[in-house]
Chains A and B, each alone.
Chain A
């Protein structure tokens, strides 16, 4: 008996590979059985947990089970990149960050067009959705998602140590006064990590009168932006805890929750972790204040942090829309907001009963921040991740005590080059 020749071996390898690859392609055609679940890919968030408790409502309406899988934000994003690159049909409803991923996902053709659905359904009341989230849900005039969670920058402070500051100057002065590392207490804690800090820094940038991009041109080396970088570096770097240059939400939140800092500026949507005795030792000592005013006034971000979209490859498009319609309806948003998770409906915000679930000073701060807020917290580009890495460079330099101006000029040049390339990608 002769052994297989090398040519035979390679021919069989190619045939077997091709056959196996072809065998894995394609989804079964025909109607989807009623026992096939509607699959929702969601982030591990208090909103998702609150919605999960109400799932039987929509299951009975759809007549099919609903399966929700929860992942961290990064894992969720990676999952979309892996699955939708393979045109996967096993995700129907996608929870996504409209300001981070939506433009790119739309360009990739991964998100279904919801324009006719949201505007053609009078009972859905699309115009009841706040303007900034509604605008953030739209790409090139087409609606690609519906907002479900909104957040604003808020100032958390220790009310047993200090009164809330009205201005950024007062905040820095108080933070310096209370900064006592020898006693294990720091003036402030916040995000210093290159990418993670950019969204929180945006409130400082706007309040100093700056912006990321104006008329398509980078403005991160403007005098206002440099002042904001310098201030943030002074605040977080000089009155913050050790290692703050590598802190994002996951690291900064526990430091404040363990009573190690007097101030903490971050999203208002994370407040429940700071009040929960299981994760916070100072829950009864935490106060909430509107974002302090800078030279250009108080201009915190006010953004839709999470939205729901429909996978264009889903075989349950109609049911997916029914799920979105229900999850972002005035009734569901009101119920979830009453439980303490802020939504995007104007009518719900106008109902004082829906704010009863929040601590009174937080509700007041949210109301002020929403009124003064700016509808974006990061550069509006396709490749948000790369843009945030560029914008975050001078921020880290400031936190580390390095000269900010040359770092900002270098980042400005990099952002200018990046914007030209990002525009080319948009046009393709």
Chain B
């Protein structure tokens, strides 16, 4: 087979994957970018005109919905990921050494990961229902006042953070456990011989060695937490609640698209949101690079 034939064959083999990437990733991105500079309203297959940067201005000057949604997105991500990292690391350290019932414990640990977010949303809605849910029965049985949980304007976002922690801490544990299992044992043993206590061994020996794994887990989980949509929509519905109390950027963009049919503004919000995610990834990657060196 000649070189030209080889080259043709290679392109032919590449074509399906390239078509998929182009059609499913690049085309939607460009289409969204194009929409964000148009005045598309009602239908995207209707005639539109160029609107310049008006949609971006509208979004960035919207102090009622956009900025609070951005703040909630960041707050949700930071609180959830920090709690998941701390708890995940603690669980990984606990499960690091073999113990009786370890296989059972690991199986139970991954159960929340197996359920779909909508199923988890419905489950927690039933458990936390202020009037007929089991959570308030338990609270009142032990002498604590009943709570409104997801029905409350002030408690909804913290409750959603805790649900996210419940669901995703196991993933952090699994990643960190895998990282811990690859660490050499010599440095820790040497530190023990030198008289280092458990906390000193963890802080000055294990944690630095676990740095790259921890950073990779943080990047993965942070990006995922930033994009959280399903659990919020399943529990709080459109707009993230009566006072928009759980409305994150994703929920806002969905509402602008499907409830308001403001496709141009929704696209601008999505472009800004994508820029935020890319920014976070770059920041975290820089952190990873520093840790790695």
| Residues in chain B within 8 A of chain A (CB atoms) | 3, 6-7, 10-11, 14-15, 18-19, 21-23, 26-27, 41-46, 129-132, 146, 148-153, 156, 236-239, 241-243, 255, 257-262
Contacts and interface: CB of A to CB of B under 8 A. Distances in A.
Nearest to A396: B242
29 contacts: A2-B7, A4-B7, A4-B11, A12-B18, A13-B18, A13-B22, A16-B18, A17-B18, A17-B23, A17-B27, A19-B19, A21-B27, A78-B258, A87-B45, A104-B42, A107-B42, A194-B242, A241-B130, A242-B148, A243-B130, A243-B131, A243-B148, A243-B149, A246-B152, A246-B236, A247-B151, A260-B132, A386-B262, A400-B243
Given A17-B23, A85-B44, A396-B243, A386 B11 contact: no
Interface in A247-276: 247-248, 251, 254-255, 258, 260
A239 B261 CA distance: 36
Contacts of B18: 9, 12-13, 16-17
A244 B21 contact: no
A260 B129 CA distance: 13
Nearest to A196: B237
A385 B242 contact: no
Contacts of B21: 13
B237 to A, nearest CB: 7
Nearest to B19: A16
Contact of B260 (A85, A186, A386): A386
Nearest to B149: A243
Contacts of B10: 1, 4
Contacts of B237: 193, 248
A383 B257 CA distance: 12
Contacts of B149: 243
Interface residues of A, number: 54
Most buried by A among B27, B152, B259: B259
Nearest to A184: B131
User: 9 smallest A-B Cβ distances: which pairs?
Assistant: A243-B151, A17-B22, A16-B19, A243-B130, A385-B259, A108-B43, A242-B130, A194-B242, A243-B148
Identify whether the interface residues of B are mostly helix, strand, loop, or mixed: helix
A195 interface: yes
Contacts of A258: 131-132
A342 interface: no
A87 B45 CA distance: 8
Given A17-B26, A21-B27, A194-B239, 9 more contacts: A1-B6, A2-B7, A9-B18, A20-B23, A77-B258, A87-B45, A109-B43, A243-B148, A246-B151
Given A1-B3, A20-B22, A84 B148 contact: no
B239 A242 contact: no
Contact of B41 (A247, A400, A425): A425
A74 interface: yes
Given A108-B43, A383-B260, A12 B11 contact: yes
A14 interface: yes
A32 interface: no
B238 A242 contact: no
